[in-house]
Structure 1
Amino acid sequence: MCYQITLAREVICEGIGLHSGKLSKIKLLPAPEDTGIIFVRTDLAGCPQIEAVAENVTTTLRATTISNGQAQVFTIEHLMSALHVCKIDNCRIEMSSEEPPVEDGCSAIFFAALQKAGQKKQQKKRKEIVIDKVYRIDDREKFVVALPYDGFRVSFTSLNEHPLIGIQYADFTINKTTYEKEIAPARTIAYEKEIEQLRSMGLGLGGSLENVIVYNDKGWINKLRFDNELVRHKILDIIGDLRLTGGIVKGHFIAVKSGHKLNTALAGLIRRNVNT
């Protein structure tokens, strides 16, 4: 029998947000049994709380955003990814602004912080989400599927029309060791020609060559950590979005060109149909 886990102690991460460009300080705190993952906007009156579950997703434009009334938190997927792989059931996340820090554009900083915090086993049984049938979300040529599997596995195919990238495929059985080495270091990627458009939309204001891998028609502007870093980052994202099922998942997830919209839709479909 698996029991719920929370953090053993408080840990802090700080820096600027990828899209907001604002300074952000987050405290990852232990939480009681059955709390789940809760974001708390300590900078707002009344410190509103937002539960990290699929029904609270309000937009998926370039990031996953969850809201409760007027309070929102966006670009949660990197932090949620690390929490998912570390199998943290209960965590209170106090935030000084609307977006976690981007650090270097991956989830390694959050994974390291969770290792530093340590874990505390609790008394109640874990809410494990076990995939017991096929679930599928389609959007024309894009799709994501959940299949029964004894473990946690992600297979992702990325198709990009740019000749520099083309088709990338990766398949990993996800555990802490694999994640730390193969997935957590993979950074956010952007096409140089899109950057000004994103900034005109109020997005990517904290992006730089320190936290985003950028490419143009001539090649990569900064050095890659992996030849297929883009698809590895896609896997990082889907791991985070799947934590919006409300529990630790067990299954095989196969995605083609999927993004936050399809990922979170799948999380919502699973959440509505699987008993936790």
Structure 2
Amino acid sequence: MSKKQKTIQREVSLSGVGIHTGNTVKMTIKPAPVNHGFAFSRIDLEGAPIIEAKAEYVVNTQRGTNLERNGVQIQTSEHVLAAAVGLDIDNLLIELDSSEPPIMDGSSKYFVEALESAGIQEQDADIEEYVVKEIISFKDEVTGSEIILMPSDEYQVTTMVDFGTKILGTQNANLERISDFKEEIADARTFSFLHEIEMLLEHDLIKGGDLNNAIVYVDKELSAATMEKLKTAFKKDDIAVKPNGILDNLTLHWANEAARHKLLDVIGDLALVGMRIKGKVIANKPGHLVNTTFAKKLAKIIKQEKRNNVPQYDLNLPPLMDIHQIMDVLPHRPPFLLIDRIIELSDTHVVGMKNVTMNENFFVGHFPGSPVMPGVLQVEAMAQCGGVLVLHTVPDPENYLTYFMKMDKVKFKQKVLPGDTLTFKCELITPIRRGICHMQAYAYANGKIVAEAELMAQIARKK
């Protein structure tokens, strides 16, 4: 059963401050139509320009994932995007009257609550999901940070964090099901180390920070001068260090809250891929740079696969029609029977396949020193698949023959060699009328499109 896309039923608003700018910001999250995805709109700027939440727009990851398009910026996009993904939502328009969403408590908790209060609405369109079929990875050789994506029955994320400090040490976090995001991950707050806080305060870069929206791990001696700066910055009369090594006025939700927040960031950053992921993510020492670099890589892979439009079928499953059933329908026989199996068949499309071997008769004379399957035979094989489709419409296919009427827009894009497995897909361009079938046909091998053509054929009763 296919899953449907989701949005929210009505708009919802939150207000707060941006952690880096210190600006008061109102964020309004609105429903969006199918196939819209996630996008931000800067309503404080003329024309309310929109920036889609896509990896290609990432420009800076030093203190969050920052997007920019045509000079318009969105800062710290990851927490609200993680909330949307964690609630299985696909389409949202996020309006802001400043450059960054409110930091709230530094987690995704309040965004999750807001989205749930708005009501989640199923939409009349199937989800777009990238199904991971082989391991995809990226490693930053300088930092050692690495992300690996592997096949899995559902979206899962594991993070392994090692900051090389005694105060935090090594932590792991794991999310087995995205449906557990709200309970297991959403409340994990952002964090920083004391030495980072000092640098940020020195450069006036966390104007919206306080002890209620960021965990501060004290990884060095807290001097009196630093203590005074922190009191001023966080508007506190007194600041101390707890026994667990964090500044006071805040209690950890989990001992591994830092690793859980890193997992939250991974989910938010990988939302920039632009579609759901069906696979398991293992992130070792993740950060916004490695997360978004991997998101860019994955987005390019998905774009390339879409361009090739390569359908995926499990060729190990029993076929819909084997060679004997095909010969019951088609009048062709070896060496001119060029399909071995029918995998799918409906009123509007057919999918077939052929194993290309060195034993094929045509290799004897067609470039025998460098065997290549003739393009015309690839077209003939596609047409035979189409013949199965059109003969499927009559009750007694054994009494009919199929004849070519026209082929148009024929293109050959890759060589087909011995050992390749060819997959053919034919789809009706117009409904079959008077026995005439007009279809778009494709041939694929090795994850690439190798040939395509518009074909027209007619069925006629045997005389």
| TM value normalised by structure 1 | 0.96
Structure 2's unaligned 5+ residue stretches are 221-240, 307-463
Counterpart of 1:259 in structure 2 is 287
Structure 1's unaligned 5+ residue stretches are none
Q: 2:278 aligns with which of 250, 264, 270?
A: 250
Report the Cα offset of residue 273 of structure 1: 1.2
What is the rounded CA distance, in whole Å, between the counterparts of 1:132 and 1:241 in structure 2?
A: 21
Do the aligned partners of residues 202 and 131 (structure 1) sit closer, same or farther apart at CA in structure 2, a change above 3 Å counting? Answer: farther
Output the aligned Cα RMSD: 1.3
What is the rounded CA distance, in whole Å, between the counterparts of 1:12 and 1:156 in structure 2?
A: 31
Counterpart of 2:216 in structure 1 is 214
Is residue 147 of structure 2 the alignment partner of residue 144 of structure 1? yes
Of the two structures, which has the highest relative contact order with CA contacts closer than 8 Å and spacing of 6 or more? 1
Q: Does the CA-based 8 Å contact 1:85-1:174 persist in structure 2? A: no
Q: 2:266 aligns with which of 203, 214, 238?
A: 238
Letter in 2 for 1:233: H
Counterpart of 1:43 in structure 2 is 44
Report the Cα offset of residue 267 of structure 1: 1.3
What is the rounded CA distance, in whole Å, between the counterparts of 1:206 and 1:94 in structure 2?
A: 20
* Other structure's SS at 1:199 match: helix
What is the rounded CA distance, in whole Å, between the counterparts of 1:79 and 1:230 in structure 2?
A: 18
Letter in 2 for 1:220: I
Counterpart of 1:170 in structure 2 is 173
What are the equivalent positions in structure 2 for 1:47-58 lying under 5 Å apart?
A: 47-58=48-59
Instruction: Report the structure number with the largest CA radius of gyration.
Output: 2
Letter in 2 for 1:26: M
Is residue 221 of structure 2 the alignment partner of residue 195 of structure 1? no
Do the aligned partners of residues 9 and 150 (structure 1) sit closer, same or farther apart at CA in structure 2, a change above 3 Å counting? Answer: same
* Other structure's SS at 2:174 match: strand
What is the rounded CA distance, in whole Å, between the counterparts of 1:127 and 1:5 in structure 2?
A: 11
What are the equivalent positions in structure 2 for 1:1-276 lying under 5 Å apart?
A: 1-140=2-141, 141-176=144-179, 178-216=180-218, 217=220, 219-222=245-248, 223-274=251-302, 275=305
Q: Does the CA-based 8 Å contact 1:129-1:245 persist in structure 2? A: no
* Other structure's SS at 1:193 match: helix
| TM value normalised by structure 2 | 0.58
What is the rounded CA distance, in whole Å, between the counterparts of 2:134 and 2:182 in structure 1?
A: 29
What is the rounded CA distance, in whole Å, between the counterparts of 1:29 and 1:162 in structure 2?
A: 42
Q: Does the CA-based 8 Å contact 1:26-1:93 persist in structure 2? A: yes
What is the rounded CA distance, in whole Å, between the counterparts of 1:40 and 1:55 in structure 2?
A: 17
Q: Describe the superposition over 1:238-260 as per-residue Cα deviations: whole angstroms up to 9, x where unpaired.
A: 01011111012111001111111
* Other structure's SS at 1:208 match: coil
Structure 1 segments, 4+ long, off by >6 Å, are none
What is the rounded CA distance, in whole Å, between the counterparts of 1:88 and 1:72 in structure 2?
A: 23
Letter in 2 for 1:265: T
What is the rounded CA distance, in whole Å, between the counterparts of 1:35 and 1:195 in structure 2?
A: 38
Report the Cα offset of residue 205 of structure 1: 1.7
What is the rounded CA distance, in whole Å, between the counterparts of 2:133 and 2:272 in structure 1?
A: 18
